[in-house]
Each structure stands twice: as C-alpha cells, then as structure tokens.
Structure 1
C-alpha cells in the first residue's frame, strides 16, 4: 500500500512551489485512499465468502451428526438382532446336541437298529423317513441361522466402519471450520486496522487541504500587498548584494539550505540559526513589511519585500516590532528571537526567495 508522510509545516514555504507540493501530497493520499478502498472491498468480499462457507460447513456438520445418530441407532438395532439370533442359534445347537446324544446312546447306527428290530415294513419306512427329515430340517435351520448371523455381523461391521467414517468426516469439517474462523478473525482484524488507517489518512488529507488553502490565501494576500517599492538612491538593488548581506541574527547555523528532515521526505529551504532568547532579529536589506503575524509551524513571522521579486522571511520570533505596510532599513530590528512555532531552542528561521523560488541564503550573506 502507499505510505504518505504528513508534512512538517515548521519549515514550509509560502510559495507556489510549496502549494504544489501540498497538492501532490494530497494527490498521493487520494491515490492511497483509492487503493485502500479497493483493499477494503476485497477484504469485505473475502469475509462474506468465509462467512458463507462457515455457514455451509455448519450445515454439513449438522447433517453428519444426524447421519451418525442414525448409524448409531442402526448399530443398536443390529446388536439386538445379533443377540436374538445368537440365542436362537445356541438353542438350536443345544437341541442338536440332545439329538446327537440320544442317537449315540442308541448306538453308532440307530437306523440299522430300527431296521433290525422292526418287523412291520410300513413302520420301518416311516421311522427311516422321520430320521431323514429330522436330520435335514435341523441342519437347514442351523445353516440358515448361521448365515443370518454372519450377514448380521458383516452388516454391523459395515455400519461401524460407516460410523467411524462419519466421525472422521465431521472432524475434518470441524478442522476446516476452525481454520476458516481463524482466517475470518485475521481478516476482520486487518479490515479494522485498514478502517483506522483510512480514517487517519482522511483526517490527514483534511489537514493538508486546510494547509493548502491557508498557504494559498497567504500567498495571495502577500502578492496583493506587494507593490513596486521605490528603492532609495542610497540603497543598492537587492540582486547586486550577493555575499554582501548582513546576517539577520547572531548565532550558529543549526540547519542549512537543503538539509533533509521529516525522515528524509522534505528539505530545508532556508537557514535555522540558533541564537539567544530575546536577541534582536534585523532586516538584511531595505524593504516593506508585507506580513507580520503568527503562522503555524513558523510561529511569529515577518516577511519583507525588497523589490525586483526578492523577499526575505524571518520566523520563530517571540515578539514582532513591525506591521504590514511598514518600511524598514537594512540592519533595523524587526523582531525579537524566540522559539515560537515548535522549535526546541531559541532560533531564527531565515529564507531568501526570488520570484517565489527559495535560494540558498549562504550565497547572499557576507562572512562573519
């Protein structure tokens, strides 16, 4: 995503270039907001899809649980059938045992004994038929019960396997549902953070827009206030005084023209001179005061117009000695140094502009 730095107005310049920079930053924020809106829409769609999928999985789990309950009921019924068949089979086995035992007690060949003992042919035939029927019927019934029992056990085995499969399926669905819930939470957190970023960027944009309007108004006011300045005969034109201008204040240069600040996003367009609290700030050349007021970031500021498109700015004052429209001489005290506008130490911000463009003051100031 796009990262937009909030401009530090402590060093912003009331120039068309500065206003252009603000407009570019506002455009960057607009681009970021457009990207963020797309991201938000994508996240919302993802959340919607996840919620639908979670709902579908919840339904699947419910159906699997219902099917598992039916399988458990079937297992219970099969267990009861198995028990009943087992009891019947055991009863048949006991009956067969008794028949075998009785036949054994009569001898190894009960049918032969019957043949030997019976004289009536009809009775012999009936007896032999009885034995054959009894033996065949018993065996058939035992085989049928055994077959039913085997089938029941196989069915029970299949139902148990099916129930195990259902349990595994439900666990798989539960795992997927848990992953989706975790994903939903993460995306919801991302969306919430994005909403916060969007709100912050919108507030930032409003601030920048306000700064832009304020600077445009100030620049317009300054331009309207500037008129052709009648340069005294004894005063040399500003443009002829390169490396000859007096310093606006005593002190050490803390930041020079072109030094970066705001994490490298911006650069100084003037000098920041550390000086003593309450020391005088002096005009570097004859000119007219076009601005003398508080400006956010600069504190109390004075702007002088020297004609031919040259202007000088003096910021961070604790007190202003002039008013718009006043004329000042070179070296005249125009303000008192301080630390208004957010400086940590007493300092003077000094800048030179020609036709709205900042120029390095060290090219204009004389040696000390």
Structure 2
C-alpha cells in the first residue's frame, strides 16, 4: 500500500470528482479543461520529484554500503595484525626465559671461579716469586693465574652481555605491548565507525522503502539489474577469452622460437639435460594451469558450500509476481567468511545495484559462480583464487533485510540449480 499524505489524498479526490463532473456534463468549459490539464501537470511533476528523491536515496544507500565494506575489510586486516603481534610477544617471552636461564648459569660459573681464586690465594704468584721458587714452577703458576683471570674476565663480559640482551628484550616487549594496545584501540574505533556506517545505511534503506514509487519499480529494477549484471559478466568473460587466445598465440610462437634456439645451440649431452629441464618446467606449468583452470563439470554434486546456513530461497522459486530466483539465498551471520566453491579467476568484484557487494568467479569452460549481498570483498578482478579461499565477508548489502548470501552458478549464460552442484550435507 502506498503511504499518501493527507494533502495528496485530498488532491486526488478533488481530481477524481472534477473528472467525473466533466465526463457527465454535456458542456465542457475552458476553465474545466485548464483545471484538468493543470492536475495532470502537477501529477507528472510530483512523480518526477519522487523519482529524483528515490535516485538520491539509492545513491546514499550505495555509498553507505561501500563505506561499510571498506571499514569491515580494514577491521579484518587489523585482527590479523593483532594475532601476529601476540605471536611475536610469545616468542619474546620465551627468549626472555632462556636469557634468564643463561644468566643464572653464568653467575654460578663466575661464583665458582671466584671461590677457586680465593682458595688458592695462599700460593699466589707474588709469594712464589719472593720465595724464589723453582723457575719452571713460577712459569706454570703464572700461566695458571693468567688462565683464571682470563676466564673470570670472559665470564664477567658474558654476564654483562646477557644482562644487556635482557634489557633490550624487555624494552622490545614494552614496545610490542604498546603497539598491541594501540592496535586494539584502533580496532575498537573501527568497530565504532562500522556501527555508525551501518546506522546510516539502515536509515537510508528505511527511507527508500517508504518511497511510494519504490514498490512499483522494484520488479522492473530486479529485471534490469539481472540483465545488466549478466551483460557485464558476459562482456568480461569475452574479454578474458580474447586475452587468453592472444596469450596462447604468443606462448605458441615463443615455444617455437625457444625450440629452434635450443636445437641450434645444444649438443648431444647438453641437449638431453636441457630437454629434461624443459620437461620439468612444462610439467610444473601444466600442473599449475590444471589447478587454476579446474574442470568444473567434473565436480557436479561435489562442490563444497560457500557458507554454512539454511537455504531461504531455492532456485526457480518465485521472487515476485514476475521474477524467479536464478540462484539460492542462504541465511548467514554478518562477517562470516564466504569461500570459493572451486578454483577460478575473479571476473568481477564491486558494487552492483540489486546485488550489493558482488564477486564473480570464472572457472573456464564458460562456468561462472556469483556471490552477492556481501559486507565486503577480499579479492579484486583478475586475481586467482583457489578452492576454499575466503573471498568475501557475508552481510546484507543490496537492500536486504537480513544477513544473506546469494549464490548463483551459470553455464554459457544460463543459470543452473546450485543445489545439484553442491555436495549433500
């Protein structure tokens, strides 16, 4: 139902009454005709104003959701940094314990040396010389005392070095703790910013839903968004295919050139060694290419789910009176990791009206998977992702009322039922 204002209702009633009067009267005056034309003009102006307001609200919604995605991505990176700092702090604490153990051992050794020097004090080198002891005995005693002095000096120096390391270690721990606390404060601030951006987004969404033209245009926009997104994905796929063909031609020409050069330069033994190396490199490249361009057709019914959750809307079910679901909608929690169901290359990553933050993967052989309604995206167009990689964080962008992941799988531009491709739970 539309939420018309009282003035608008009165205006409509007056217009209807006037129209009935004109239709049933035998004579239409110029004043009547001018009044009708003025009413039509006012209605068109009101509609244009409402459409302008709707576009403004949609723009605010898009900006808000992009801001939420940016803040969420930064918060996710900060969590990783904090975990790394904690691991570094654990290592510093282990090193400190080891240094304290070394210090205790060095102190004990120095103590023993001092006791030994004290116990032999009655026969020190000066007494031996004054008593005119045998020269060989004096020489041996002198060497012995020199050894003891050197050992004591070495122990004292080692102890001093250990204490310096402890001091430096403690300073490093202090800095690490300070850095960790700073990161934690930044994390709390980013979370506060995220909450603020979410509040802005929710207000914009509520205002959009109150717009009287929104419900009228919703079905048409769903159809237009779907067609526009598919056209964009098709164009991106065609461009990538063109690049692959060009790259294949260059690679083939280079391979022929390399083969001719190798044939001209290589001797019997060198040629055999070069061939072995070339075979090894070719196998590695082939393995990498096979891993990157995995055949999705062979994985039907075996794909892992992109996220855990209950299926809210199934493929082919009615989305509205004129639109059906081309994928499935899965209930999830905000911030949950969305994972790639198979290895592929990012074909599109960004905001798309009606789908929110979207990431689409090209799995070769004209297979494409699409993940929509995300909070933020973790990869950009052109990146290669492997099966199971986290590619996005779940959310409710695109004007969704609850946290949901939209998952779609298509072949040659035709959507297929994802439940037939995903493994049974």
TM-score by length of 1: 0.48
Instruction: Indicate the structure (1 or 2) with the bigger Cα radius of gyration.
Output: 1
For CA contacts below 8 A with separation 6 or more, give which structure has more relative contact order.
1
Which structure features the higher share of helix residues?
Answer: 2
- TM-score, normalised to structure 2, is 0.42
